[in-house]
Amino acid sequence: MAAARLAESKEVSDEDTLLSSLVKVTDDRQLIRDEIANILLAGRDTTACTLTFAVYRLAEHPNILQRLREEILSIVGPSRRPSHDDIRNMKFLRAVINETLRLYPPVHATKDTVLPATTTQPPIFVPAGTNTAYCVFIMHRRKDLWGPDALKFDPDRFLDERVQKYLTPNPFIFLPFNAGPRICLGQQFAYNEASFMLVRLLQQVSAIEFVPEVAPESVVPPGYADSPGSDGTDRVWMANHLTMYAKGGLWVKMTEAKNEHET
């Protein structure tokens, strides 16, 4: 019976869903529920956060949007479905996603961890048994780690000499997926998912305008943009539950791209 189910599981069609695939290999309802909940939390909300803030920043930086769109059209044209190799060759796309993850990490902080042994690294002393946590959001915006322009949205920091200056000697300053042996198992899937969505969006859309006034509940309060950790330009209201999200939603107008010739 198990062998038959395994054979069936290898037959995949466009109509298959995650749920139908799970049902083929197990009838344990608790396991199925747990796996679906895990995917929805870890694979939906996190990528939704990344795409939300990527679209926001592209709306705020039309020059970056146009540069990204030019890269996309030069590789896949206005209609072709991108392959894995296509996405891998879109260096600026990856830089845009990384910069979004830097400023808006979906998981903004880690759960408290009890250190098993005393840690001493002058001038820091952490006794054994101490509950500790770190805030990825704050680390990603520290000027001592990322340079004087740490608060600025600039995808080129992942392409130019700043990579060698800041990131290469200290890769643990960039932790949207955590790092080390407990790095997120879905990291590459998340990159591909977000990349695919942005490619398909910008094949169809040539401009994005941020219009928070459409939904007054999404408008940031007075003085919000001048809060610590902001460069003074933030106009989207960041909030957190388990993951980061835009309070009141992200409201934009998109301009449909005109018919363009295949490249």
Q: Please write the tens of the pLDDT for every residue from 136-150.
A: 999 999 999 999 999
Residue 2 pLDDT: 45
Is 112 inside any structural domain? Answer: no
Q: pLDDT grade, residue 69 (50/70/90)?
A: very high
Q: pLDDT grade, residue 260 (50/70/90)?
A: low
Is 3 inside any structural domain? Answer: no
**CA gap 228, 200 in Å, rounded:** 35
Domain count, the chain: 1
Q: Say if residue 181 is preceded by a cis peptide, omega within 30 of 0.
A: no
Residue 1 pLDDT: 44
135 is in an annotated binding site: no
Is 240 inside any structural domain? Answer: yes
Q: Over 80: is that where the pLDDT of 167 sits? A: yes
For residues 246-253, give the mean pLDDT. Answer: 95
**CA gap 210, 196 in Å, rounded:** 22
The DSSP annotation for 86-136 comes to HHHT-HHHHHHHHHHHHHS-SS-BPPPEE-SS-EEETTEEE-TT-EE--BH
Is 200 inside any structural domain? Answer: yes
Is 22 inside any structural domain? Answer: no
Q: Please write the tens of the pLDDT for every residue from 187-244.
A: 998 999 999 999 999 999 999 999 999 999 999 988 888 888 888 888 999 998 888 9
Q: Which domain holds residue 230?
A: 30-104+151-256
Amino acid at the residue 143: K
- What are the residues whose beta carbons fall under 8 Å from the beta carbon of 141, sequence distance 6 or more? 103, 150, 151, 229
**CA gap 96, 201 in Å, rounded:** 14
The residue assigned the tokens 């790095």 is: 183
Beta bridge partners of 208: 254
Is 216 inside any structural domain? Answer: yes
Instruction: Describe the chain by its helix, strand, coil percentages, rounded to 5.
Output: 50, 10, 40
Quick one: DSSP state of residue 214? G
Residue 84 pLDDT: 93
For residues 69-80, give the mean pLDDT. Answer: 97
CATH number of the structural domain spanning residue 89: 1.10.630.10
CA angle 127, 131, 137 (to 5 degrees): 120
Is 222 inside any structural domain? Answer: yes
Q: Please write the tens of the pLDDT for every residue from 90-138.
A: 999 999 999 999 999 999 988 777 778 887 788 888 888 888 888 999 9
Q: Please write the tens of the pLDDT for every residue from 18-63.
A: 788 888 888 889 988 888 887 777 778 899 999 999 999 999 999 9
**CA gap 31, 168 in Å, rounded:** 40
Query: What is the model's pTM?
Result: 0.84
Residue 43 pLDDT: 77
Q: Over 70: is that where the pLDDT of 9 sits? A: no
Is 75 inside any structural domain? Answer: yes
